[in-house]
Structure 1
Amino acid sequence: MTWAPTEIRPGDIGAEPSVDGLLDHLRSNATLDKQLVEAKALVFRGFHVPENGLAGVLDLVLPDRLAYVHGNTPRTKVGENVYTSTEYPPEFTISMHNEMSYAHQWPSRLFFYCAVAPTTGGATPVVDGTAWLAALDDEVRERFLPGVRYTQNLHSGVGFGKSWQATFETEDRDQVEEFLAGNEADWEWKADGGLRITQHRRAVTEHPVTGELVWFNQADQWHVEALDRETAEAMLEILAEDEMPQTVSFADGSPIPAADVIQVRDRGLDVAVNVDWHAGDLMLIDNVAVGHGRRPFSGPRRVLVAMS
């Protein structure tokens, strides 16, 4: 049986179809943690939650929200550690990934809220990490098992990609170094004021509660093959590959074949399940058990994200 998120509607739980109905359910639900581990992803539909009613819901499901520090994608902060989803051109797909799996510490939960539904498309595909791992060829899995090495080149205000100031939400170098030292990362400040960071991380991990092995890395997104061909060629005319905003190799520094990352990307998307959005919908996911992405869309899509 194909895995899919568990949907919860007002009629399923005898609640009013309103934000107050959802709040009452969440306050009285002592088993939410267990329910999320078992379901891996929960989608709340039909509660018509307005954006100005979001804070109360977040305080119950993510009481200790994290800032998106060391995040590698462009977002806008819109509230107390609440952000827009990745601001990436709507015509492109965002491939499957577990949020910040490249980091020493990652969020265990992600929360999505749809304030404005897209006119067409724009689903958030979600993928069971065990199914993604199983979908890969044996030899590809074997090559990745020793782990991967991520490299970031963050400029100091002008350049490709994100600046180190935006990435770490500070202009204090000492604060950045303290963060990186505590997260087992290597770094060097470059002559132009930029920052180069190298991190050795796992490619597969064990879920802390269930013990399931899941695919857990973002190698396909950090690889040059993740860029559309026109963008990749244009950037490689200007920058050497090791000067790109982000790159990835196997743990020993050897290059990851393009065919490997294309297989990882495409098979993750192939086994994913689309979660289509209606205004007021919410989704809570276990960030280790489940990867997520974004389908192309048209219209004014506004999906907000928080993590803990």
Structure 2
Amino acid sequence: MTSISTYFDELNIPGQQRTTKFGFSEDKSFPLALKTKVTWSPTLDECILALRDLSKSGELFTQIRKHGGAVLIRGIPIKTADDYSRVAHAFGFDPHEEVGRPPIRTVLAPNVKTANEGPPELPIWPHNEYGWSTINPAWLTFSALKVPKSGGVTPIISSIGLANRLKTQLPEFYERLLKKGVRYLYRYGRENIVSTTGSSVFAAYGQNVKANDDEATIRKKIEDEDGSLSVTHVVPIIRKHTATGLTIWFGNLTSAYGRSRHHGATLPPYRGDDGSYHPPPEYGDGTIIANEDLEMALDIAEKMQVDVQWQVGDVVLLDNYAVMHSRRPWSGDRTVLAALWDQKGRIGDFPEGTRIIDPRGGEKLKPQTP
């Protein structure tokens, strides 16, 4: 069987962490970092064949799992969105269709979009992609086509490590999250706005909605498409990672709180300095989560971050259920593209989580009116 070392050398990058600190039994670097071998000057087609070979054999995914769910691959001659699309498809995943997308994204190549078109001065805090939804991608890939003069790094954080540390440092908070889940509120206006969560209702749910549809038609089309017009989502956040058997934190609690804090909106009525409404998430039953607990969770996550310092052509592959990501502000030109992918059976739930999301599995928690 072809090994990774046939094509790539392992790199050490600043800030790498050890997986034993996250609860893994094996001691590996997080993330795995690879660079095309010094003795190999591959073409794009050769890199694609190599990645396809390593993906089909399972060798790449075995190593990604052992290294905590993330890999940085450096040295691939990616120049365009189409180049990146071809590389990303080599991993062999099924493309993910976004439902309820908050950020604004533009399609540039097959299953490749801009990562987030929010303004560069606004950070994005640690989150799992679509961690607030029951419809989420299993894998994410990113690639950098332009690197800014300063800033713009993409920190990654172990969801396994965060769950492990939270259970140890804040056991009562952990148990409340396990039993109650989290309630997220997303507000979609009729127009896109300039923010990191600026998608309109048309972009989020309106695959079949037209701008001149009246309100009744919009509601009917969205209900037909999504089953509900509600933008309140009650989901578990303490979950199971089936590939490792370890417990994960899977959600957007830290990113939502970080955004609320950034805009000075952590207290009622949650209106920020930008004039927008930034309500922090609540427990699944509608009760308030203490700011002290939210602050601690965000602090733990940020102390675990490993910064991906982008170089042109870099590719990052993340197990969305095992790894969170965020974004730092930047100045200059930055182009980082994203692609979302499906793979069934990679996430599971404890009995408490099943009761939260599946009415047939027990009594579903009912959100209370705030």
TM-score of the two chains, using structure 2 as the length reference = 0.71
Q: What SS class does the counterpart of residue 153 from structure 1 fall into?
A: coil
Q: Which residue matches 2:63?
A: 35
139-148 vs 159-168, which moves further: 159-168
Q: Percent identity?
A: 27
**Alpha-carbon deviation of 1:72?**
1.7
Match of 1:130 among 160, 168, 172: 160
For 2:223 and 2:289, locate their aligned partners in 1 and report how far apart those are by CA, in whole Å: 29
Q: Which residue matches 2:14?
A: none
Q: What SS class does the counterpart of residue 252 from structure 1 fall into?
A: coil
In structure 2, the CA distance between the partners of 1:15 and 1:70, relative to structure 1 (3 Å rule), is farther
**Alpha-carbon deviation of 1:77?**
2.3
Alignment of 1:5 onto 2:31: yes
125-134 vs 14-23, which moves further: 14-23
User: Relative contact order, CA 8 A, sep 6+: which one is greater?
Assistant: 1
For structure 2, the residue ranges without an aligned partner over 5 or more in a row are: 1-16, 20-29, 210-217, 342-370
In structure 2, the CA distance between the partners of 1:257 and 1:62, relative to structure 1 (3 Å rule), is farther
For these two proteins, the number of residue pairs brought into alignment is 293
Q: How does 1:227-242 map to 2 (within 5 A)?
A: 227-229=261-263, 236=270
For 1:117 and 1:79, locate their aligned partners in 2 and report how far apart those are by CA, in whole Å: 20
Please list the CA deviations of residues 122-149 of structure 1 after superposition, one character each: whole Å capped at 9, or x if unmatched. Answer: 1111111121123332232223222011
Please list the CA deviations of residues 105-133 of structure 1 after superposition, one character each: whole Å capped at 9, or x if unmatched. Answer: 21110000000012112111111112112
For 1:167 and 1:90, locate their aligned partners in 2 and report how far apart those are by CA, in whole Å: 22
**Alpha-carbon deviation of 1:295?**
1.9
Match of 2:46 among 3, 9, 21: 21
Q: Which residue matches 1:99?
A: 129
**Alpha-carbon deviation of 1:91?**
2.9
Q: How does 1:109-188 map to 2 (within 5 A)?
A: 109-136=139-166, 137-146=170-179, 147-157=181-191, 161-170=198-207, 171=209, 173-181=219-227, 187=229
Q: What SS class does the counterpart of residue 291 from structure 1 fall into?
A: strand
For structure 1, the residue ranges without an aligned partner over 5 or more in a row are: 188-195
Q: Which residue matches 1:193?
A: none
Match of 2:243 among 206, 209, 212: 209
Q: Which entry has the higher C-alpha Rg, 1 or 2?
A: 2
In structure 2, the CA distance between the partners of 1:119 and 1:260, relative to structure 1 (3 Å rule), is same
Q: Which residue matches 1:268?
A: 301
For 1:63 and 1:94, locate their aligned partners in 2 and report how far apart those are by CA, in whole Å: 26
For 2:193 and 2:83, locate their aligned partners in 1 and report how far apart those are by CA, in whole Å: 38
Q: Which residue matches 1:190?
A: none
Structure 1 counterpart of 2:46, one-letter code: G
TM-score of the two chains, using structure 1 as the length reference = 0.84
For 2:149 and 2:108, locate their aligned partners in 1 and report how far apart those are by CA, in whole Å: 22
Please list the CA deviations of residues 260-291 of structure 1 after superposition, one character each: whole Å capped at 9, or x if unmatched. Answer: 22222221111111111001110111110111
